[in-house]
Amino acid sequence: MTAYETIILTVITASTPLLLAAIGELVVERAGVLNLGIEGMMAMGAVSGFAMAQVTGSAWLGVLFAMLAGVAISMLFAFLTQSLVTNQVATGLSITLLGLGLSGLIGGGFVGMPGIKLDYVAIPVLSELPLVGKLIFGQDPLVYISILLTVGVAYTLKKTRIGLIIRAVGQNHHSAHALGYPVIKVRYACIAFGGLTSGLAGAYLSLVYTPQWIENMTAGRGWIALALVVFSTWLPARLAAGAYLFGGVWILGLYAQGMGVGIPSQFLSSLPYLATIIALIVISTNRRLSVINTPASLGQGFVPDR
């Protein structure tokens, strides 16, 4: 494998958990809900997937359990914000703290254990092609799933009746309710989808990226995923491009450290977060970018008329 292929493969690996978490959050926010609990949901997915894989010896059962764990904690967020109409920002932050703390508690006995890695897909002949073989036909299954999810979300939001309802609920939940759309049920479903993809992103970290369990292994990726949704102006194609861009920045810092570049390692490690801040500043200073595609009801609680 050439150095070129190695770098590209590493960028794809670093970008996939960002894309998985962000594409679910995009759907949640399109429905008018701001979920700041992604980091905690990813942590719960990572520890649940790793634990199930250790117990059963199956990485795929680990992936399934990680998704269920993500959905379960997202339903707690949904119940609090949609049924009890609590503040979405405060509740999301609480879910993140809960997920990080609970994952550390659950994963205490799994620290240091060798992980069970999800096998890569190897298509005979095609995966051996020069340059593009490993890049296109030799990835792990979750890379292909992340791409399919992105395409599916883009198509659903733009071309289907379900997508129209989601966008209507996020744009003006009172008008959507007046038209007969079940606002709360739609938001519950979208939050569950966001929890599923966050759990899947966590499983990617503990079963593919670094097949082991380390406390706080999400390392702020949930916050970057949140920024990516704004960075992409709530459009799936831009979100995918942004995820790979941020993944590239992440890997750039790691490679620079490995090459002994005369820059403090702490600064290189902070590059992804610095890029996130710069992107948000650029968007916030541009009035057009800050309002385009922004769901008008984002972050607002909804109480149906009695």
CB-based contacts of 273, cutoff 8 Å, min separation 6: 220, 224
Q: What percent of the chain is modeled with pLDDT above 90?
A: 66
* pLDDT score, position 304: 84
Which CATH architecture best describes the domain 3-291? Orthogonal Bundle (1.10)
The two structure tokens encoding residue 192: 């569950």
**Are 118 and 60 within 8 A, CB to CB?**
yes
Task: Name the residue with higher pLDDT: 263 or 181.
Answer: 181
pLDDT for res 125: 66
User: Exposure of 262 by Cβ count < 10 A (0-12 exposed, 13-18 middle, 19+ buried)?
Assistant: exposed
Cα–Cα distance between 177 and 168 in angstroms, integer? 9
**pLDDT for position 258:** 66
64-98 tens-digit pLDDT: 999 999 999 999 999 999 999 999 999 999 999 99
Structure tokens at 186: 């739609």
CB within 8 A of 88, min separation 6: which ones? 33, 34, 35, 36, 81, 299, 301
Domain ranges of the chain: 3-291
Report the interhelical angle of 38-56 vs 221-231 (nearest 10°). Answer: 130
pLDDT per position as a tens digit, 259-280: 766 677 677 677 777 877 887 7
Confidence of residue 163 (pLDDT cuts 50, 70, 90): very high
Contact between 194 and 24 under an 8 Å Cβ cutoff? The reply is yes
Alpha-carbon distance 14 to 20, whole Å? 11
Q: State both tokens at 110.
A: 């799994």
Q: Do 231 and 242 touch, CB atoms closer than 8 A?
A: yes
Average pLDDT over residues 184-210: 97
Q: Return d(Cα 27, Cα 29) in angstroms, integer.
A: 5
What distance in Å separates the CA atoms of residue 112 and residue 79, rounded to the nearest whole number? 35
Can you tell me the mean pLDDT for 147-161? 97
Residues 303 and 292: their CA atoms lie apart, in Å, by 26
CA dihedral 201, 203, 207, 212 (to 10 degrees): 100
Look up the pTM and report it: 0.93
Comparing 212 with 270, the larger pLDDT belongs to: 212
> For helices 236-258 and 271-284, what crossing angle results, to 10°?
140
